Chain A
Amino acid sequence: MAWVGTLIIVTIPLFMIWNRLVIDPQREYMEWLMSVLMLNTLILPIVNGFVITSNMQREYQDRTIRNVLTAPVSREKFLTAKLSVWFLWYLISFCLSEVIVIAGCYILFPVEFTTGNMRYALSLFTQNNFFSFIVGIPILLICVKQQALFYPSMLATLGSAVLQAAGLQVSEELILPACICPWTAVSISGMVGWGTQFWRICMITITVCGIIGFIGALVSFKRQDQ
Protein backbone atom coordinates (compact mmCIF):
# COMPACT_ATOMS: atom_id res chain seq x y z
CA MET A 1 0.00 0.00 0.00
CA ALA A 2 2.84 2.40 0.88
CA TRP A 3 4.44 1.98 -2.55
CA VAL A 4 1.13 2.57 -4.29
CA GLY A 5 0.58 5.63 -2.08
CA THR A 6 3.97 7.06 -2.97
CA LEU A 7 3.28 6.41 -6.65
CA ILE A 8 -0.04 8.27 -6.46
CA ILE A 9 1.54 11.21 -4.62
CA VAL A 10 4.35 11.64 -7.18
CA THR A 11 1.90 11.17 -10.03
CA ILE A 12 0.05 14.39 -9.10
CA PRO A 13 2.86 16.84 -10.11
CA LEU A 14 3.82 14.59 -13.05
CA PHE A 15 0.23 14.72 -14.27
CA MET A 16 0.14 18.50 -13.87
CA ILE A 17 3.41 18.86 -15.83
CA TRP A 18 1.96 16.71 -18.62
CA ASN A 19 -1.27 18.73 -18.45
CA ARG A 20 0.60 22.01 -18.86
CA LEU A 21 2.76 20.64 -21.70
CA VAL A 22 0.05 18.89 -23.69
CA ILE A 23 -3.41 20.19 -22.75
CA ASP A 24 -3.07 23.70 -21.37
CA PRO A 25 0.20 25.33 -22.50
CA GLN A 26 -1.21 28.83 -21.80
CA ARG A 27 -1.57 28.28 -18.07
CA GLU A 28 0.58 30.69 -16.10
CA TYR A 29 3.05 29.89 -13.34
CA MET A 30 0.95 30.90 -10.30
CA GLU A 31 -2.20 29.30 -11.68
CA TRP A 32 -0.31 26.07 -12.37
CA LEU A 33 1.26 26.07 -8.91
CA MET A 34 -2.13 26.58 -7.21
CA SER A 35 -3.66 23.80 -9.30
CA VAL A 36 -0.92 21.44 -8.14
CA LEU A 37 -1.51 22.58 -4.55
CA MET A 38 -5.27 22.05 -4.90
CA LEU A 39 -4.85 18.50 -6.20
CA ASN A 40 -2.20 17.84 -3.60
CA THR A 41 -4.52 19.07 -0.83
CA LEU A 42 -7.24 16.72 -2.00
CA ILE A 43 -5.24 13.58 -2.81
CA LEU A 44 -2.52 13.60 -0.14
CA PRO A 45 -4.81 13.22 2.93
CA ILE A 46 -6.71 10.41 1.19
CA VAL A 47 -3.56 8.46 0.38
CA ASN A 48 -2.22 9.22 3.84
CA GLY A 49 -5.36 7.81 5.47
CA PHE A 50 -5.25 4.71 3.26
CA VAL A 51 -1.66 3.99 4.24
CA ILE A 52 -2.16 4.21 8.02
CA THR A 53 -5.47 2.34 7.81
CA SER A 54 -3.85 -0.48 5.87
CA ASN A 55 -0.86 -0.52 8.23
CA MET A 56 -2.93 -0.73 11.42
CA GLN A 57 -5.86 -2.78 10.16
CA ARG A 58 -3.63 -5.60 8.94
CA GLU A 59 -2.03 -5.94 12.36
CA TYR A 60 -5.48 -6.56 13.80
CA GLN A 61 -6.77 -8.64 10.91
CA ASP A 62 -3.74 -10.94 10.71
CA ARG A 63 -3.56 -10.99 14.54
CA THR A 64 0.15 -10.14 14.39
CA ILE A 65 -0.56 -7.51 17.03
CA ARG A 66 -0.82 -10.28 19.64
CA ASN A 67 2.59 -11.68 18.76
CA VAL A 68 4.04 -8.17 18.81
CA LEU A 69 2.53 -7.23 22.17
CA THR A 70 3.56 -10.52 23.79
CA ALA A 71 7.08 -10.32 22.28
CA PRO A 72 6.92 -8.07 24.43
CA VAL A 73 6.63 -4.61 22.93
CA SER A 74 5.05 -1.91 25.07
CA ARG A 75 1.86 -0.43 23.71
CA GLU A 76 3.33 3.09 23.75
CA LYS A 77 6.33 1.96 21.73
CA PHE A 78 4.16 0.08 19.27
CA LEU A 79 2.00 3.12 18.53
CA THR A 80 4.94 5.54 18.49
CA ALA A 81 6.73 3.23 16.04
CA LYS A 82 3.65 3.15 13.81
CA LEU A 83 3.46 6.95 13.88
CA SER A 84 7.19 7.27 13.13
CA VAL A 85 7.10 4.87 10.18
CA TRP A 86 3.97 6.53 8.87
CA PHE A 87 5.59 9.96 9.10
CA LEU A 88 8.82 8.72 7.50
CA TRP A 89 6.89 7.32 4.55
CA TYR A 90 4.92 10.56 4.29
CA LEU A 91 8.08 12.67 4.46
CA ILE A 92 9.80 10.69 1.71
CA SER A 93 6.70 10.78 -0.48
CA PHE A 94 6.02 14.48 -0.19
CA CYS A 95 9.73 15.32 -0.61
CA LEU A 96 9.72 13.33 -3.87
CA SER A 97 6.57 15.16 -4.91
CA GLU A 98 8.13 18.55 -4.13
CA VAL A 99 11.25 17.68 -6.13
CA ILE A 100 9.00 16.95 -9.11
CA VAL A 101 7.12 20.23 -8.58
CA ILE A 102 10.40 22.17 -8.60
CA ALA A 103 11.59 20.25 -11.67
CA GLY A 104 8.24 21.08 -13.30
CA CYS A 105 8.72 24.76 -12.54
CA TYR A 106 12.19 24.60 -14.10
CA ILE A 107 10.93 22.90 -17.26
CA LEU A 108 7.65 24.80 -17.69
CA PHE A 109 8.46 28.28 -16.37
CA PRO A 110 12.17 29.02 -16.81
CA VAL A 111 11.54 32.78 -16.42
CA GLU A 112 9.75 32.40 -13.08
CA PHE A 113 12.32 29.87 -11.87
CA THR A 114 13.97 32.22 -9.38
CA THR A 115 15.25 31.55 -5.86
CA GLY A 116 12.45 33.64 -4.31
CA ASN A 117 9.70 31.89 -6.26
CA MET A 118 11.08 28.44 -5.52
CA ARG A 119 11.50 29.26 -1.83
CA TYR A 120 7.85 30.37 -1.75
CA ALA A 121 6.66 27.27 -3.60
CA LEU A 122 8.67 24.94 -1.38
CA SER A 123 7.58 26.58 1.88
CA LEU A 124 3.95 26.59 0.73
CA PHE A 125 3.97 22.90 -0.18
CA THR A 126 6.05 21.82 2.83
CA GLN A 127 3.86 23.69 5.29
CA ASN A 128 0.67 22.40 3.65
CA ASN A 129 1.91 18.81 3.56
CA PHE A 130 3.30 18.88 7.08
CA PHE A 131 0.11 20.37 8.54
CA SER A 132 -1.96 17.92 6.53
CA PHE A 133 -0.09 15.07 8.23
CA ILE A 134 -0.65 16.52 11.70
CA VAL A 135 -4.42 16.89 11.23
CA GLY A 136 -4.42 13.32 9.89
CA ILE A 137 -3.14 11.90 13.20
CA PRO A 138 -6.68 11.47 14.63
CA ILE A 139 -7.11 8.82 11.90
CA LEU A 140 -4.71 6.75 14.02
CA LEU A 141 -7.21 6.94 16.89
CA ILE A 142 -9.98 5.71 14.59
CA CYS A 143 -7.71 2.91 13.34
CA VAL A 144 -7.14 1.77 16.92
CA LYS A 145 -10.83 1.95 17.74
CA GLN A 146 -12.01 0.19 14.58
CA GLN A 147 -9.47 -2.67 14.96
CA ALA A 148 -9.97 -5.06 12.01
CA LEU A 149 -12.49 -2.82 10.25
CA PHE A 150 -11.40 -0.21 7.73
CA TYR A 151 -14.38 1.82 6.59
CA PRO A 152 -14.67 4.19 9.62
CA SER A 153 -11.14 5.50 9.07
CA MET A 154 -11.69 5.59 5.30
CA LEU A 155 -14.78 7.74 5.77
CA ALA A 156 -12.92 9.99 8.19
CA THR A 157 -10.07 10.26 5.67
CA LEU A 158 -12.43 11.32 2.90
CA GLY A 159 -14.10 13.82 5.23
CA SER A 160 -10.72 15.25 6.20
CA ALA A 161 -9.69 15.59 2.53
CA VAL A 162 -12.96 17.32 1.61
CA LEU A 163 -12.59 19.78 4.50
CA GLN A 164 -8.99 20.53 3.56
CA ALA A 165 -9.99 21.18 -0.04
CA ALA A 166 -12.95 23.28 1.13
CA GLY A 167 -10.50 25.39 3.13
CA LEU A 168 -9.07 26.69 -0.15
CA GLN A 169 -12.48 28.15 -1.09
CA VAL A 170 -13.30 29.87 2.23
CA SER A 171 -14.60 33.45 1.95
CA GLU A 172 -13.11 36.25 4.01
CA GLU A 173 -16.04 36.36 6.48
CA LEU A 174 -15.61 32.69 7.37
CA ILE A 175 -11.86 32.77 7.76
CA LEU A 176 -11.90 32.75 11.59
CA PRO A 177 -14.17 29.68 11.95
CA ALA A 178 -12.11 28.04 9.20
CA CYS A 179 -8.96 28.72 11.21
CA ILE A 180 -10.52 27.07 14.25
CA CYS A 181 -11.42 23.90 12.36
CA PRO A 182 -8.07 22.09 12.10
CA TRP A 183 -8.74 20.54 8.66
CA THR A 184 -9.72 23.78 6.93
CA ALA A 185 -6.94 25.52 8.88
CA VAL A 186 -4.39 23.52 6.88
CA SER A 187 -5.39 25.30 3.66
CA ILE A 188 -5.99 28.67 5.35
CA SER A 189 -2.48 28.63 6.83
CA GLY A 190 -1.07 28.62 3.28
CA MET A 191 -3.17 31.60 2.21
CA VAL A 192 -2.76 33.94 5.19
CA GLY A 193 0.66 35.42 5.74
CA TRP A 194 3.24 33.55 7.80
CA GLY A 195 3.26 34.76 11.43
CA THR A 196 -0.06 36.64 11.22
CA GLN A 197 -2.77 36.24 13.85
CA PHE A 198 -4.80 33.90 11.61
CA TRP A 199 -1.71 31.82 10.90
CA ARG A 200 -1.08 31.49 14.63
CA ILE A 201 -4.67 30.36 15.25
CA CYS A 202 -4.29 27.81 12.45
CA MET A 203 -1.02 26.63 13.92
CA ILE A 204 -2.53 26.20 17.40
CA THR A 205 -5.65 24.32 16.23
CA ILE A 206 -3.60 22.03 13.98
CA THR A 207 -1.10 21.26 16.76
CA VAL A 208 -3.86 20.65 19.31
CA CYS A 209 -5.64 18.36 16.84
CA GLY A 210 -2.48 16.31 16.30
CA ILE A 211 -1.70 16.07 20.02
CA ILE A 212 -5.27 15.11 20.94
CA GLY A 213 -5.31 12.56 18.12
CA PHE A 214 -2.11 10.87 19.28
CA ILE A 215 -2.88 10.96 23.00
CA GLY A 216 -6.39 9.66 22.27
CA ALA A 217 -4.94 6.83 20.19
CA LEU A 218 -2.44 6.01 22.93
CA VAL A 219 -5.03 5.99 25.72
CA SER A 220 -7.46 3.97 23.63
CA PHE A 221 -4.78 1.45 22.65
CA LYS A 222 -3.57 1.06 26.24
CA ARG A 223 -7.12 0.28 27.39
CA GLN A 224 -7.87 -2.05 24.51
CA ASP A 225 -8.29 -5.79 24.97
CA GLN A 226 -6.71 -7.83 22.21
Chain B
Amino acid sequence: MTGLKYTIQTYELCKKYEGCSVVRNVSMHVPKGQIYGLLGRNGAGKTTIMKMLLGLVKKDSGSVTLFNQVMADYQSGIYARIGSTIESPGFYSNLTAVENLSVFSRLRGKVDRNKIRKALGVVGLPYQDKKIFSKYSLGMKQRLAIANAIVNDPELLIFDEPTNGLDPIGIAEMRTLIRRLSHECGKTILISSHQLSEMEQMVDWIGIIHEGRMLEECSYQQLEENRHSYIRLVVKEPEQVYKYLKKTLSIENIKRPEASVIEIYGLKYGTLELNSRLFAAGLSVVEISKCQNSLEDYFKELTGGAGIA
Protein backbone atom coordinates (compact mmCIF):
# COMPACT_ATOMS: atom_id res chain seq x y z
CA MET B 1 0.00 0.00 0.00
CA THR B 2 3.02 2.23 -0.23
CA GLY B 3 3.06 5.05 -2.75
CA LEU B 4 -0.66 5.71 -2.33
CA LYS B 5 -2.13 8.92 -1.00
CA TYR B 6 -4.69 8.33 1.68
CA THR B 7 -7.74 10.43 2.36
CA ILE B 8 -8.54 8.53 5.56
CA GLN B 9 -6.07 6.83 7.85
CA THR B 10 -6.86 5.46 11.26
CA TYR B 11 -4.40 4.03 13.71
CA GLU B 12 -5.33 1.61 16.49
CA LEU B 13 -8.81 3.06 16.78
CA CYS B 14 -10.70 1.78 19.82
CA LYS B 15 -14.18 2.33 21.19
CA LYS B 16 -15.98 0.82 24.12
CA TYR B 17 -19.65 1.18 25.02
CA GLU B 18 -20.30 0.52 28.69
CA GLY B 19 -17.19 -1.64 29.00
CA CYS B 20 -17.91 -3.61 25.84
CA SER B 21 -15.37 -3.17 23.03
CA VAL B 22 -17.07 -2.49 19.73
CA VAL B 23 -14.01 -1.29 17.83
CA ARG B 24 -10.64 -2.83 18.64
CA ASN B 25 -7.37 -1.41 17.33
CA VAL B 26 -8.66 -0.68 13.85
CA SER B 27 -6.06 0.67 11.47
CA MET B 28 -7.59 1.58 8.17
CA HIS B 29 -6.24 3.21 5.01
CA VAL B 30 -8.60 4.65 2.42
CA PRO B 31 -6.74 5.63 -0.77
CA LYS B 32 -7.61 8.89 -2.46
CA GLY B 33 -10.10 8.73 -5.32
CA GLN B 34 -11.05 5.10 -4.74
CA ILE B 35 -14.02 3.18 -3.37
CA TYR B 36 -13.24 1.48 -0.09
CA GLY B 37 -15.72 -1.09 1.13
CA LEU B 38 -16.00 -1.79 4.82
CA LEU B 39 -17.42 -5.25 5.02
CA GLY B 40 -18.75 -6.92 8.12
CA ARG B 41 -21.73 -8.47 9.80
CA ASN B 42 -24.36 -6.43 11.60
CA GLY B 43 -22.80 -5.17 14.82
CA ALA B 44 -19.24 -5.67 13.57
CA GLY B 45 -18.40 -2.02 14.28
CA LYS B 46 -18.68 -0.50 10.80
CA THR B 47 -21.07 2.29 11.75
CA THR B 48 -19.13 3.13 14.90
CA ILE B 49 -15.93 3.51 12.86
CA MET B 50 -17.74 5.81 10.43
CA LYS B 51 -19.21 7.82 13.28
CA MET B 52 -15.77 8.21 14.81
CA LEU B 53 -14.45 9.47 11.46
CA LEU B 54 -17.25 12.02 11.36
CA GLY B 55 -16.79 13.11 14.97
CA LEU B 56 -20.23 11.90 15.98
CA VAL B 57 -18.72 9.40 18.40
CA LYS B 58 -15.72 10.06 20.57
CA LYS B 59 -12.91 7.55 20.19
CA ASP B 60 -11.41 6.00 23.32
CA SER B 61 -7.93 5.72 21.87
CA GLY B 62 -6.10 5.73 18.56
CA SER B 63 -5.94 8.42 15.94
CA VAL B 64 -7.82 9.53 12.85
CA THR B 65 -6.14 11.36 9.99
CA LEU B 66 -8.40 12.95 7.39
CA PHE B 67 -6.91 14.76 4.39
CA ASN B 68 -3.51 14.46 6.11
CA GLN B 69 -4.79 16.30 9.17
CA VAL B 70 -4.86 14.54 12.53
CA MET B 71 -8.34 14.98 13.94
CA ALA B 72 -9.09 16.00 17.50
CA ASP B 73 -12.37 14.80 18.96
CA TYR B 74 -15.44 16.57 17.60
CA GLN B 75 -13.30 18.96 15.57
CA SER B 76 -15.74 20.24 13.01
CA GLY B 77 -13.69 22.36 10.60
CA ILE B 78 -12.75 19.61 8.19
CA TYR B 79 -16.21 18.09 7.87
CA ALA B 80 -17.25 20.60 5.22
CA ARG B 81 -15.14 18.47 2.84
CA ILE B 82 -17.10 15.33 3.70
CA GLY B 83 -20.56 14.22 2.67
CA SER B 84 -22.14 11.40 4.62
CA THR B 85 -25.14 9.27 5.31
CA ILE B 86 -25.12 7.36 8.58
CA GLU B 87 -27.70 4.69 9.38
CA SER B 88 -31.24 5.68 8.48
CA PRO B 89 -31.72 9.04 6.74
CA GLY B 90 -32.41 11.93 9.13
CA PHE B 91 -34.48 14.78 7.75
CA TYR B 92 -37.21 17.10 8.97
CA SER B 93 -40.41 15.13 8.45
CA ASN B 94 -42.63 18.12 7.67
CA LEU B 95 -40.37 19.56 4.96
CA THR B 96 -40.02 18.66 1.28
CA ALA B 97 -36.78 17.35 -0.24
CA VAL B 98 -35.79 20.79 -1.53
CA GLU B 99 -36.59 22.43 1.82
CA ASN B 100 -34.58 19.82 3.70
CA LEU B 101 -31.59 20.17 1.38
CA SER B 102 -31.85 23.95 1.67
CA VAL B 103 -31.74 23.73 5.48
CA PHE B 104 -28.60 21.60 5.48
CA SER B 105 -27.00 23.62 2.67
CA ARG B 106 -27.57 26.77 4.71
CA LEU B 107 -25.79 25.15 7.65
CA ARG B 108 -22.86 24.51 5.32
CA GLY B 109 -22.83 28.20 4.44
CA LYS B 110 -24.79 28.79 1.25
CA VAL B 111 -27.97 27.65 -0.44
CA ASP B 112 -27.36 27.03 -4.12
CA ARG B 113 -30.63 26.08 -5.87
CA ASN B 114 -28.78 24.76 -8.91
CA LYS B 115 -26.67 22.42 -6.78
CA ILE B 116 -29.80 21.16 -5.03
CA ARG B 117 -31.54 20.60 -8.37
CA LYS B 118 -28.45 18.80 -9.70
CA ALA B 119 -28.08 16.60 -6.60
CA LEU B 120 -31.75 15.60 -6.72
CA GLY B 121 -31.41 14.90 -10.44
CA VAL B 122 -28.40 12.65 -9.83
CA VAL B 123 -30.32 10.48 -7.36
CA GLY B 124 -33.49 10.55 -9.45
CA LEU B 125 -35.74 12.59 -7.21
CA PRO B 126 -37.98 15.31 -8.67
CA TYR B 127 -37.12 18.92 -7.90
CA GLN B 128 -40.64 20.27 -8.14
CA ASP B 129 -42.21 17.96 -5.61
CA LYS B 130 -44.51 19.06 -2.85
CA LYS B 131 -44.35 15.73 -1.06
CA ILE B 132 -43.03 16.05 2.48
CA PHE B 133 -40.30 13.77 3.83
CA SER B 134 -42.61 11.75 6.08
CA LYS B 135 -44.56 10.63 2.99
CA TYR B 136 -41.43 9.31 1.28
CA SER B 137 -40.79 5.61 0.76
CA LEU B 138 -37.62 4.16 2.33
CA GLY B 139 -35.96 4.10 -1.08
CA MET B 140 -36.73 7.79 -1.64
CA LYS B 141 -35.41 8.62 1.81
CA GLN B 142 -32.15 6.84 1.01
CA ARG B 143 -31.88 8.74 -2.26
CA LEU B 144 -32.46 12.04 -0.48
CA ALA B 145 -29.73 11.13 2.01
CA ILE B 146 -27.32 10.54 -0.89
CA ALA B 147 -28.41 13.83 -2.46
CA ASN B 148 -27.70 15.60 0.83
CA ALA B 149 -24.25 14.01 0.96
CA ILE B 150 -23.28 15.08 -2.55
CA VAL B 151 -25.02 18.46 -2.77
CA ASN B 152 -22.00 20.36 -1.52
CA ASP B 153 -19.63 18.54 -3.91
CA PRO B 154 -17.42 17.11 -1.13
CA GLU B 155 -14.10 15.36 -1.72
CA LEU B 156 -14.90 12.44 0.55
CA LEU B 157 -18.17 10.54 0.79
CA ILE B 158 -19.02 8.24 3.66
CA PHE B 159 -22.01 6.00 3.03
CA ASP B 160 -23.26 3.65 5.71
CA GLU B 161 -25.26 0.88 4.04
CA PRO B 162 -26.69 3.22 1.38
CA THR B 163 -28.67 0.54 -0.44
CA ASN B 164 -30.77 -0.46 2.57
CA GLY B 165 -34.41 -0.38 1.57
CA LEU B 166 -33.77 -0.04 -2.16
CA ASP B 167 -35.30 -2.38 -4.70
CA PRO B 168 -32.94 -4.37 -7.02
CA ILE B 169 -33.11 -1.73 -9.75
CA GLY B 170 -32.52 0.97 -7.16
CA ILE B 171 -29.50 -0.95 -5.84
CA ALA B 172 -28.06 -1.26 -9.35
CA GLU B 173 -28.62 2.45 -9.97
CA MET B 174 -26.99 3.33 -6.66
CA ARG B 175 -24.01 1.15 -7.54
CA THR B 176 -23.64 2.89 -10.89
CA LEU B 177 -23.93 6.28 -9.20
CA ILE B 178 -21.29 5.45 -6.58
CA ARG B 179 -18.91 4.12 -9.23
CA ARG B 180 -19.48 7.21 -11.35
CA LEU B 181 -18.84 9.52 -8.40
CA SER B 182 -15.52 7.84 -7.80
CA HIS B 183 -14.30 7.09 -11.31
CA GLU B 184 -15.60 10.18 -13.12
CA CYS B 185 -15.65 12.80 -10.39
CA GLY B 186 -12.60 11.55 -8.47
CA LYS B 187 -14.39 11.29 -5.12
CA THR B 188 -13.00 9.11 -2.40
CA ILE B 189 -15.78 6.89 -1.12
CA LEU B 190 -15.96 4.87 2.05
CA ILE B 191 -18.93 2.57 1.97
CA SER B 192 -20.08 -0.01 4.46
CA SER B 193 -22.23 -2.98 3.78
CA HIS B 194 -22.99 -6.48 4.90
CA GLN B 195 -24.01 -7.45 1.37
CA LEU B 196 -21.07 -9.20 -0.20
CA SER B 197 -22.41 -9.35 -3.74
CA GLU B 198 -22.98 -5.63 -3.71
CA MET B 199 -19.46 -4.90 -2.50
CA GLU B 200 -17.91 -7.25 -5.05
CA GLN B 201 -19.33 -5.21 -7.89
CA MET B 202 -18.33 -1.83 -6.59
CA VAL B 203 -15.21 -1.51 -4.49
CA ASP B 204 -11.55 -0.96 -5.33
CA TRP B 205 -10.37 -1.63 -1.79
CA ILE B 206 -11.86 -3.72 0.93
CA GLY B 207 -11.60 -3.87 4.70
CA ILE B 208 -13.07 -6.91 6.38
CA ILE B 209 -14.18 -6.23 9.91
CA HIS B 210 -15.41 -8.74 12.43
CA GLU B 211 -16.27 -8.21 16.09
CA GLY B 212 -14.61 -4.79 16.01
CA ARG B 213 -11.34 -6.05 14.52
CA MET B 214 -9.98 -5.37 11.05
CA LEU B 215 -9.22 -8.86 9.80
CA GLU B 216 -8.00 -7.96 6.35
CA GLU B 217 -7.39 -4.84 4.33
CA CYS B 218 -6.36 -5.10 0.71
CA SER B 219 -7.19 -4.07 -2.81
CA TYR B 220 -10.03 -5.94 -4.46
CA GLN B 221 -7.55 -7.33 -6.99
CA GLN B 222 -5.45 -8.72 -4.15
CA LEU B 223 -8.56 -10.18 -2.57
CA GLU B 224 -9.35 -11.97 -5.82
CA GLU B 225 -5.91 -13.49 -5.71
CA ASN B 226 -6.27 -14.44 -2.06
CA ARG B 227 -9.52 -16.24 -2.68
CA HIS B 228 -8.64 -19.88 -3.20
CA SER B 229 -9.19 -21.62 -6.51
CA TYR B 230 -10.07 -25.28 -6.38
CA ILE B 231 -11.23 -28.16 -8.54
CA ARG B 232 -14.66 -29.54 -7.87
CA LEU B 233 -15.31 -33.15 -8.71
CA VAL B 234 -18.61 -34.99 -8.74
CA VAL B 235 -17.82 -38.71 -8.76
CA LYS B 236 -19.57 -42.08 -8.53
CA GLU B 237 -17.00 -43.75 -6.23
CA PRO B 238 -15.96 -41.01 -3.83
CA GLU B 239 -14.04 -43.28 -1.44
CA GLN B 240 -11.84 -44.74 -4.16
CA VAL B 241 -11.30 -41.33 -5.76
CA TYR B 242 -10.41 -39.83 -2.39
CA LYS B 243 -7.85 -42.59 -1.70
CA TYR B 244 -6.41 -42.29 -5.21
CA LEU B 245 -6.00 -38.51 -4.88
CA LYS B 246 -4.40 -38.82 -1.45
CA LYS B 247 -2.14 -41.80 -1.98
CA THR B 248 -1.32 -41.94 -5.67
CA LEU B 249 -1.39 -38.23 -6.54
CA SER B 250 -0.24 -37.08 -3.07
CA ILE B 251 -2.82 -34.28 -2.87
CA GLU B 252 -3.16 -33.15 0.73
CA ASN B 253 -5.76 -30.39 0.72
CA ILE B 254 -8.97 -32.21 -0.09
CA LYS B 255 -12.43 -31.38 1.21
CA ARG B 256 -15.62 -33.40 0.94
CA PRO B 257 -18.55 -31.01 1.38
CA GLU B 258 -21.05 -33.62 0.15
CA ALA B 259 -20.96 -37.42 -0.21
CA SER B 260 -20.25 -37.44 -3.95
CA VAL B 261 -18.43 -34.11 -4.14
CA ILE B 262 -14.69 -33.67 -3.69
CA GLU B 263 -12.92 -30.32 -3.66
CA ILE B 264 -9.19 -30.19 -4.35
CA TYR B 265 -7.28 -27.14 -3.19
CA GLY B 266 -3.76 -26.20 -4.18
CA LEU B 267 -4.27 -26.78 -7.92
CA LYS B 268 -1.35 -29.15 -8.39
CA TYR B 269 -3.07 -30.50 -11.51
CA GLY B 270 -5.26 -28.86 -14.10
CA THR B 271 -8.78 -30.14 -14.75
CA LEU B 272 -7.79 -31.86 -17.99
CA GLU B 273 -4.81 -33.70 -16.50
CA LEU B 274 -6.72 -34.72 -13.41
CA ASN B 275 -9.60 -36.01 -15.46
CA SER B 276 -7.21 -38.04 -17.64
CA ARG B 277 -5.47 -39.57 -14.61
CA LEU B 278 -8.74 -40.52 -12.97
CA PHE B 279 -9.98 -42.00 -16.21
CA ALA B 280 -6.74 -43.95 -16.61
CA ALA B 281 -7.19 -45.26 -13.07
CA GLY B 282 -10.65 -46.48 -14.00
CA LEU B 283 -12.48 -43.95 -11.83
CA SER B 284 -15.45 -42.31 -13.49
CA VAL B 285 -15.99 -38.57 -13.15
CA VAL B 286 -19.51 -37.22 -13.50
CA GLU B 287 -18.53 -33.58 -13.40
CA ILE B 288 -15.29 -31.64 -13.13
CA SER B 289 -14.89 -27.87 -12.89
CA LYS B 290 -12.45 -25.24 -11.74
CA CYS B 291 -14.01 -22.99 -9.10
CA GLN B 292 -13.06 -20.08 -6.93
CA ASN B 293 -14.12 -19.48 -3.37
CA SER B 294 -16.86 -16.92 -3.21
CA LEU B 295 -16.29 -13.78 -1.17
CA GLU B 296 -18.65 -15.25 1.37
CA ASP B 297 -16.50 -18.39 1.67
CA TYR B 298 -13.45 -16.21 2.04
CA PHE B 299 -15.23 -14.14 4.66
CA LYS B 300 -16.14 -17.30 6.54
CA GLU B 301 -12.58 -18.49 6.35
CA LEU B 302 -11.31 -15.22 7.78
CA THR B 303 -13.87 -15.01 10.56
CA GLY B 304 -13.45 -18.61 11.51
CA GLY B 305 -16.76 -19.81 10.19
CA ALA B 306 -19.10 -16.91 10.87
CA GLY B 307 -21.14 -16.07 7.79
CA ILE B 308 -22.00 -12.56 6.76
CA ALA B 309 -25.76 -12.46 6.94
Whether B104 pairs with A69 at a CB distance below 8 angstroms is no
Cβ-defined contact, B92 with A62, below 8 A: yes
Chain A residue contacts of B74, Cβ below 8 A? 75, 222
* Cβ B56 vs Cβ A226 within 8 A: yes
The answer to whether A71 has its CB under 8 Å from any CB of chain B is: yes
Cβ of B76 < 8 Å from any Cβ of A?
yes
The distance from the CB of A1 to the nearest CB of chain B, in whole angstroms, is 11
Q: How far is the CB of A18 from chain B (nearest CB, A)?
A: 33
A-B pair number, CB within 8 angstroms: 56
Determine if A73 and B91 form an interchain contact, defined as CB atoms under 8 angstroms apart: no
In the bound complex, what is the Cα–Cα distance between A222 and B148 (angstroms)? 24
Q: Which residues of B contact A65 (CB under 8 A)?
A: 90
Contact of A226 among B57, B82, B89, B104 (CB under 8 A): B57
Interface residue from B58, B77, B89, B90 paired with A72 (Cβ < 8 Å): B77
B residues less than 8 Å from A62 (CB atoms):
90-93
A223 close to B58 (CB less than 8 A)? yes
Chain B residue nearest in CB terms to A68? B107
Q: For B90, what are the chain A residues with a Cβ–Cβ distance below 8 Å? A: 62-67
Contact at B76–A73, with CB atoms within 8 Å?
yes
Residues of A within 8 Å of B93, CB to CB, are 62
Interface membership of B88, Cβ < 8 A: yes
Q: Are A70 and B91 in contact (CB under 8 A)?
A: no
| B196 on the A face (CB < 8 A) | no
Q: With the chains together, A223 CA to B55 CA distance in Å?
A: 11
Residues of A within 8 A of B58 (CB): 223, 225
CB distance B57 to A67 under 8 Å?
A: no
- Distance in Å from the Cβ of A221 to the closest Cβ of chain B? 10
> Is B79 an interface residue when CB atoms closer than 8 A count as contact?
yes
Q: Is B96 an interface residue (CB 8 A)?
A: no
A62 to B94, CA, bound (A): 11
User: Whole-angstrom distance from the CB of A2 to the nearest CB of chain B?
Assistant: 13
A74 interface contact, C-beta 8 A: yes
- Give, as a whole number of angstroms, the nearest-CB distance from A105 to chain B: 39
Q: Which of A55-99 contact B (CB under 8 A)?
A: 62-75
User: Does B80 count as interface, using CB distance less than 8 angstroms?
Assistant: yes
Contacts of A68 in B (CB 8 A): 104, 107
B130 at the binding interface (Cβ < 8 Å): no
Q: A64 — nearest CB in chain B belongs to which residue? A: B90
The verdict on A226 contacting B51 (CB below 8 Å), with A67-B148, A72-B77 known, is yes
**B76 CB contact (under 8 Å) in A64, A72, A223, A226:** A72
A70 and B82 contact, CB distance less than 8 A: yes
Minimal beta-carbon separation of B56 from chain A (angstroms) = 4
Complex interface: chain B residues within 8 A of A75 (CB): 74
- Asked if A70 and B55 sit within 8 Å, CB to CB, the answer is yes
Chain A residues with Cβ below 8 Å from B92 are: 62, 64
Cβ 8 A contact of B79, one of A71, A222, A225: A71
Can you give 18 A-B contacts (C-beta < 8 A)?
Answer: A63-B89, A64-B91, A67-B91, A68-B107, A69-B56, A69-B76, A70-B56, A70-B82, A70-B86, A71-B79, A72-B55, A72-B79, A72-B80, A72-B108, A73-B76, A74-B76, A225-B56, A226-B51
Q: Which residues of A does B touch, CB under 8 Å?
A: 62-75, 222-223, 225-226
Query: Chain B: residues with CB nearer than 8 A to chain A?
Result: 51, 54-58, 74, 76-77, 79-80, 82, 84, 86-93, 104, 107-108, 148
